Structure 1
Amino acid sequence: MVSICPNCKGLQNRLGASDLGHGHAPQRTQWLSTTLPDLELSANEGCRACSLLLQGILLHHHRFAGAKQGDVKIKAESFNDSNAQRHLSVELRWVQPDFDIPDQHEMNGDDDSEAHPDLKLEFFVDVSTPSPFPAIGTGRHLTNDSLQNTGISTIRGLIQNCVAHHSSCQQNASTALPTRLLDVLSGDDPDGVRLCLIESNGSDQSYEVGEYCTLSYCYGTGTKIPRTTTKTLQAYQKNIPWIVLPRTFQQAITLTRDLGVRWLWIDALCIVQDDVTDRDREIQNLDTIFGNSFLTMAATSASDSDHGLFRSKITTDKLPVTDNTGWVSDVYVREQPTHYSFKASFDEEAHMNDWELPFNTSPDVNLHTPLLTRAWAYAESLLARRVLHFTDSELILECREGYQCECERIDNSLYDSRATNTVKQELSRMLSEAVSESDLSTSSETLRDDRADSLVSKFAATSINGPTEALFQARDDALQLWSYIVTEHTARKLTHEEDRLSSIVGVAKVLNRIIQSGYVAGHYTYSTLGLLWYPNDGNICHRPDNSVPSWSWASIEGSPIFFDNATAMDLACTASFSAKDGGRHAWSPTRGGAVTIAAAMATEAELRIDATNEYSLVKNSVSVEFRPDTAPTHGHHDIKSGDALVCVLVSMTFRSSIIGLVLKRSKSEPEKYRRVGRFECYDCQKDGTDDDPEDAESLFGYWFPEIEDMTKLDDGPRQTYIVI
């Protein structure tokens, strides 16, 4: 009788392997759960299957060289996939998971909530090759060089699948080109590249149309990046020397040519960097630049522009294996393509109100995809029709309807039950439905920057007669989505923090097709609730001394910004926004002036800071907790115990809490105020008593005894505060 290896069951089907699936066709079958020393023992005792697994694992020994062998835990399982991917997945763990870090659990669809493995390998054979072990099935080869024929063919296949099947990703044949583009097919010189001014100088504004690509990348140190300036503009219009271009630029140019596209947009070269007017105009036109692009190439795994789009990919090793009949087969082993940066434990069927944010920004998850940690790149990916991510493991195409990848497993819950990010798809769906609902015949996506700004202003000034309930709901949903986008955006990095508003203006313009509102310094003037933002952790935040007004979320740096948009009761508080120069412009995306707040329920309260640095506000011997925007406070926004602060009640939420703003009178301009924080009152406490706290609604009676009928707030007097 043949003995069966107790460790791996000989990797033979149905020989004692545990069924992780259900019914007659198990989807996942676990073959192995052991440690590295036990696997070595089985291999030394003659188990051919364990010997093969050990060989493949030791090819990657450098990954766990510093770990104790007894700490290296190994699990192997195979899959019954209808797409004929039946590789053997081998997971190794040697680092104790930290469950306090977000996204460090439920990373692989496991019910035991283990952290994602420290190393994940896959063993597979070719489709035409018989496998020496039934548990090792067929796999899919990945391209090693995206500029070779097989790589270009793979890229074309991903794009063509999107073009052919995704209605949201379709493109107008008469798409207008940006102001400047790189002509990558000019002249007889194979390395010839020149900068072209596309915009006509004539008064008829007859712009050229066509296909072009865009590049999204990390600047890095930026010391070697060539930039178009007022001094280099004329020379670059004749020729840009190939040798001065960093590797990422060179490879983007080569791929654009290989795809048969003439034009390429790269920000450093297509925007005159030392011309403030040109830079501001082009930044405010990013919605059309990326939205009209045929393809955005993303150097997702490159930390700077010198690394290139196509970094060295994961190698695939070939191991010859002899089965029990003497037949020699090749088994391939490689590090499994990872989708960790693109997925998270997230319910994609959930309503926006139940989304967990930020989606997936933990440092270890994005270690190999630095571009995904950048704020500019996040906004570009939302605007782009389709983004081709070049990662260390494979190509991933992100478009307005989902994701594709080379291994074809990114959205397959069999291999990873976590969901991909749906914000881009939700944005696309909203825009499609909004255009249908309002029957807008002209989309700002097909307009140039000057006409797009005109359209935005028109939207803001238009009075909508008899809007449907669906249109109201669409605007509210768009505002909700905007707040989530700001949270994701502020969770990402910026080299220059003063770009916080500039980097997101393109997304704001796109959403304004639905909201149809004024927009000042990051806020749609349609809603006062946008002022109820708060930093996730004020202890790590700071307020730089810049031109951003205190009422804007962009005045705070260092932490993701969250919002309170859902309200059960409006407490008769309104806000009127103005631009930096004091005018009431409808569209002032990066500069804001004062906000005039008119509130029916506003009062002065005393600040109290206890020994543990807990903040509270007290009036009539009744206190509520208070959360300053930064702790400790400093500069113009410095507050001390005993200070008199103004509390402006804005709304009551479905959580039965009262939310408001906390203002401090400006020392330099006593008639004006600065925001220092936000409070959310769930309950209030009487001083000097041991009574249990009373609910939030009791605060109305203690702080505003003069208001006898809450239903008549809109008809009563209001106090006005100018917030700078």
Structure 2
Amino acid sequence: MMETPTTASYWVQRLGRRLNGRKSQLLDSCRSRHYCTITEEHHHQYPYHRVPSPQPQDLSRVKTNEHGQLQCRGCDQITYLLRWAEAERRKDANHKGTSPKRIIHNSYIELDSCARMSNCDACQVARRALLLDQITGRDAERLRDTDNQSPVQVALDVRPGCDSLLVSIDSESGVPLFSATVVLSQKPCLAVGKKTKGPSTPSRLRPNFEELRQVVNNCHNNHQCSSRYRWNSRNPSWLLQILANGKVRVIPGPDRLVDYVVLSYSWGDPAAMPAEEWARIKGASTKTVNGVPVAERTNPFSRSILPETMQDAIAITQELGYEYIWIDNVCIPKGTDWDTEASLMHEVYGNAAFTLLASSSTKATERMLHDRLAWLQEPKHCKLRNHFLYNTQKPLHEVRLDPPASQRAWTLQEERLSPRILYWTGQRWYWSCPEHQTVESSPFDLPSPVSASEEQSWSPPQRFLDVCRIGDFQSIDQEWLDIVEAYTRRDLAHSADRFLAISGLAVRFLEAKMDGGDKTRVSEQYISGLWREDLARHLSWSVASAVDPRGSHQEVAPSWSWASLPLCVNTKMRHAFKQSPHFQFLGVRQFSSDYTPVTASTNLGQQVVSNPRLRSKLAEQHGRAIKQIEIRGRFRRFISEKSRAVSWEDIEWKRGERVGFNFEEFPGQDLHSRNRNDGRIVSKDAHGGEVVGQLDYVLPAGDNHGDKKGSHSVALGDGEETELMCLELGELAMLLLQRNPGPEETWRRVGVCIGYEQRKGFFYGCESRTVVFA
């Protein structure tokens, strides 16, 4: 039956339609007053990326929150987490922990659009945090890659006195791609950064050279860096002079010391770039005729023919008011004595006005100068639910470790030999000298929250120079161990440069160990990357896990030197150590076949006596040529002749994170076992404790015996562990040795044992023996 105006149900339906219509009008009015969306007009204003396609959930619509600031729907998730933290603290005032992640935007592009177009205050802080965390310009570009977008997530890290917002972008499999930290504070505050002058948006796209000039000038005028750390008054053999109109030229180093900048950068991996690109990098080198640079380089030429990293380094140097720059590929002409130049790096870097470290580029053909997209908008106070959000300054030690340049072996000594360093990243610069460290900043930057243990786990890059200057020999020895740990993790384009790329540091170490005022001799001796005065400790290096013997450099260095390892290997150099009273270094037994020792009776030998500079260089060259040394110490078998081989799985014991051994199935038996994956090896006496060692190499899966004529000969084959002997280095440290084939008895290193607390008397009663290490 049809409803009539007089029936009750008719009036109920009509009232419902009127209420729904009124609700719709109210919602439309609210949206028009409080929300905005990204339009095609905005897209034309910012054409450098395309507007993302519509997402299932629109998170970019903004409203004005209770603090009068714009807040998008995505940022409601941050507010939710803040309420969660408040609830947890009501239960426990000292609550600490990390919340689950919540999505604030469907992609970085959506976050970027919301921050720039909708002007959402919190999204501006999150966007800036992600950009500032990227060291290289390429990483910042990866954020905006339209073909690889993932949701932007946040989690709240709650700690007493310091809450942080963890912003991250993960891959589909959950692997973190990008991450950054936003500091939360309940009070408005300003960090040490200075507000820049001039228009906000355009000026911040360029580096803040005004602030940087003040920092550099303050160091040169008010610090003692030059008087304390400058090595001498000599310039490099050749410098690149910066001229007007984009011109440069190669000139001999002037007789008087001039202020010059040194560039430290990564050439790049030739295997990862087109052949023509690598040829362009190599082609930047200066050619010579009869040992003199060609006229094409000594006459003014356009710097545009050089790779992009070099071009931008020249531009930065010129912007800071310097006329000269030293770039290895240009200022070490072809045909130059490379050994000599490499050993003088402590002078090149020590005498420079500062070292410009190109952290922003991954290879020489990439730009150093990029638009500072993090500063498109002037930073301002941002407040959500009574919390102020602040961007952080990435700690310097993370900046040092992250960029590709830090993976290059040559840059280690370039950094450690430089009193002043300007780290140039994609979005800001960092300055470090012995007296001051600072970063290009804004008035709303805060230092990253760093725990006391993290603060103590790293040292400034100038520490090596500092301990060398004051003559703290114990610290110098420890610094060398730290240097080697960092060095063995790095890569080299040419393995033959294994010693050359660290030779400047070795020469500086030698100079620090001079006998008092006697500049003609030193008590120390360089021995294939190790040092005589603490040789037992230096011999006790170990690998974190056994490595593939393919790539071993035993043609470059002897087995007992860390330099014989493959490239990019994690080593452990520092551990509690007390030298055994039975250990003795007897002397050098053999040099490489192509080495000619210098004697005092020769003309060159007489020059060494009167020229400390030449003496140090030749002492380093002498040391890297050593192939055999003679050692005396307590000596014995590692595994007893009656020992039984058992599988690793039969004796390994695990309880959660605790790992040990369980020998209860083999009572009263001598046992030994090897872990085929990581190279651990164990020897146990029937009624005594076990000794656990670490082998240097492990054979690839399926290769049980190795190729005795090739590089596999450095690894143990099946059953060869029973032939191992060991020599005591320290109270709880020994070398594992295998005899080399041949009529002469020499031994090669295959591993090490450190800290065998279960068998402290392992060498008790053993006789000392003289052993030749090869």
**Common fold, TM-score beyond 0.5?**
yes
2:736 is aligned with 1:662: yes
Matched, 1:531 2:566: no
* 1:160 alignment partner AA: N
Counterpart pick for 2:154 among 73, 89, 99: 73
**1:223 matched to which residue of 2?**
279
The partner residue of 1:339 within 385, 390, 394 is 394
Shift of 1:135: 6.1
Q: Tell me the TM-score normalised to structure 2 length.
A: 0.62
Is residue 714 of structure 2 the alignment partner of residue 637 of structure 1? yes
Deviation for aligned residue 1:382: 1.0
Residue 406 in 1 paired to residue 440 in 2?
Answer: yes
Match of 2:762 in 1: 699
- 1:297 CA displacement: 1.1
* Mapped partners of 1:620, 1:179: distance in 2: 66
Instruction: Name the amino acid aligned to 2:168.
Output: R
Shift in Å, 1:166? 3.5
Distance 1:322 1:249, change over 3 A: closer
Corresponding residue of 1:448: none
Alpha-carbon contact 1:299-1:389 (below 8 Å) kept: yes
Contact 1:605 1:618 in 2 (8 A): no
Q: Distance in 1 between matches of 2:389 and 2:373?
A: 7
Q: Does the 8 Å contact 1:673/1:721 carry over to 2?
A: yes
Counterpart in the other structure of 1:519: 526
- Structure 2 counterpart of 1:234, which letter? V
Residue number in structure 1 paired with 2:666:
none
Q: Which residue of 2 aligns with 1:510?
A: 508
- Name the CA distance, whole Å, in 1 between partners of 2:740 and 2:121: 73
Q: Which residue of 92, 97, 109 maps to 2:167?
A: 92
Query: Deviation at 1:290?
Result: 0.5
Contact residue 122 and residue 389 of structure 2 kept, 8 A: no
CA distance in 1, matches of 2:477, 2:437: 25
Aligned partner (choices 281, 293, 308) of residue 367 of structure 2:
308
- In the alignment, structure 1 segments of 5+ residues that lack a partner are 22-29, 41-48, 82-87, 102-114, 125-132, 200-206, 324-332, 345-359, 435-473, 653-657, 684-694, 708-717
SS of 1:603's equivalent in the other structure is strand
Residue 156 of structure 1 and its aligned partner are, at CA, apart by 0.7
- Read off the aligned partner of 2:480 and give its amino acid letter: W
Offset at residue 534 of structure 1 (A): 1.2
Which letter does structure 2 place at the counterpart of 1:587?
A: E
1:370-394 per-residue CA deviation (whole Å, 9 max, x = no partner) reads 2222221122111112111111121
Q: CA deviation at 1:73?
A: 2.7
Q: Relative to structure 1, is the Cα distance of residues 698 and 315 closer, same or farther in structure 2, using a 3 angstrom cutoff?
A: closer
Q: Distance in 2 between matches of 1:173 and 1:647?
A: 44
1:389 and 2:423 matched: yes
Q: From 595, 598, 603, give the equivalent of 2:631.
A: 598
Give yes or no for contact 2:636–2:763 (8 Å, CA) kept in 1.
no
Give distance in 2, aligned partners of 1:150 and 1:564: 40
**Structure with more helix by fraction:** 2
Residues paired across the two proteins, number: 569
Aligned Cα RMSD in Å? 5.2
Q: Which has the larger radius of gyration?
A: 2
Give the 3-state SS of the residue equivalent to 2:461 in structure 1: helix
Does residue 161 of structure 1 match 2:210?
no
Q: Distance in 1 between matches of 2:173 and 2:761?
A: 42
Q: Is the Cα contact below 8 Å between 1:145 and 1:310 reproduced in 2?
A: no
SS of match in other structure, 2:725 = strand
Structure 2 distance, partners of 1:245, 1:147, is 27
Is structure 2 residue 729 aligned with structure 1 residue 650?
Answer: yes
Deviation at 1:316, TM superposition (A): 3.0
3-state DSSP class of the match of 1:219? Answer: coil
Partner deviation per Cα, 1:673-706 (whole Å, 9 max, x = no partner): 22222123515xxxxxxxxxxx3223234xx35x
* C-alpha contact 1:144 1:313 (8 A) present in aligned 2: no
Gaps (5+ residues) in structure 2? 1-64, 90-96, 108-117, 131-142, 271-277, 383-387, 515-523, 599-617, 649-673, 676-680, 700-705
The 8 Å contact of residues 390 and 444 in structure 2, kept in 1 or not, is answered as: no
The answer on 1:196 being equivalent to 2:251 is yes
State the TM-score, normalized to the length of structure 1.
0.65
Task: Give 1:415 shift.
Answer: 4.4
1:487 CA drift (Å): 0.4
- The aligned counterpart of 1:347 is none
* Aligned CA distance change for structure 1 residues 291 and 119 (closer, same or farther; 3 Å): same
User: Equivalents in 1 of 2:381, 2:634: separation in Å?
Assistant: 82
Q: Secondary structure at the match of 1:315?
A: helix
Shift of 1:552: 1.1
Could you say if the C-alpha distance between residues 405 and 696 of structure 1 is closer, same or farther in structure 2, counting changes exceeding 3 Å?
same
How far is 1:149 from its partner? 8.8
Match for residue 480 of structure 1?
478
Is the aligned partner of 1:678 residue 2:734?
Answer: no
Note closer, same or farther for the CA distance 1:98–1:378 as it changes in structure 2 (3 Å cut): farther
* Matched position secondary structure for 1:195: strand
Once the two structures are aligned, what percentage of the paired residues are identical? 18
Give CA-to-partner distance per residue, 1:522-570, whole Å, 9 cap, x none.
1122222211111222235652352211121110124122225643352
Change (3 A) 1:678 1:51: closer
Q: Is the 8 A contact 1:287 1:383 kept in 2?
A: yes
Label 1:481 to 1:475 Cα distance change in 2 as closer, same or farther (>3 A). same
**Distance in 2 between residues matched to 1:700 and 1:371, nearest whole Å:** 45
- Asked whether the equivalents of residues 303 and 370 of structure 1 are also in contact (C-alpha less than 8 Å), the reply is yes
Structure-2 residue corresponding to 1:261 = 322
Q: Distance in 1 between matches of 2:464 and 2:448?
A: 27
- The alignment status of 1:152 with 2:209, answered yes or no, reads yes
Contact 1:228–1:273 (CA under 8 A) maintained in structure 2 = yes
Distance (whole Å) between structure 2 residues aligned to residue 537 and residue 136 of structure 1: 47
Q: Is the partner of 1:572 in helix, strand or coil?
A: coil
Query: Hey, what's the Cα distance between the residues in 1 that align with 2:156 and 2:119?
Result: 12
- Change in Cα spacing, 1:317 to 1:229, as seen in structure 2 (3 Å) is closer
Which residue identity lines up with residue 459 of structure 2 in the other structure? T
CA–CA distance in 2 between the matches of 1:173 and 1:672? 42
- Out of 445, 459, 462, which is 1:422 matched to? 459
Q: Quick check: 2:506–2:620 contact (8 Å CA) kept in 1?
A: no
Match of 1:293 in 2: 352
1:479, 1:300 → 2: CA distance?
A: 29
Aligned mates of 1:619, 1:677 — CA distance in 2: 20
Establish whether residue 550 from structure 1 lines up as the match of residue 559 from structure 2: yes
What is aligned with 1:719?
769
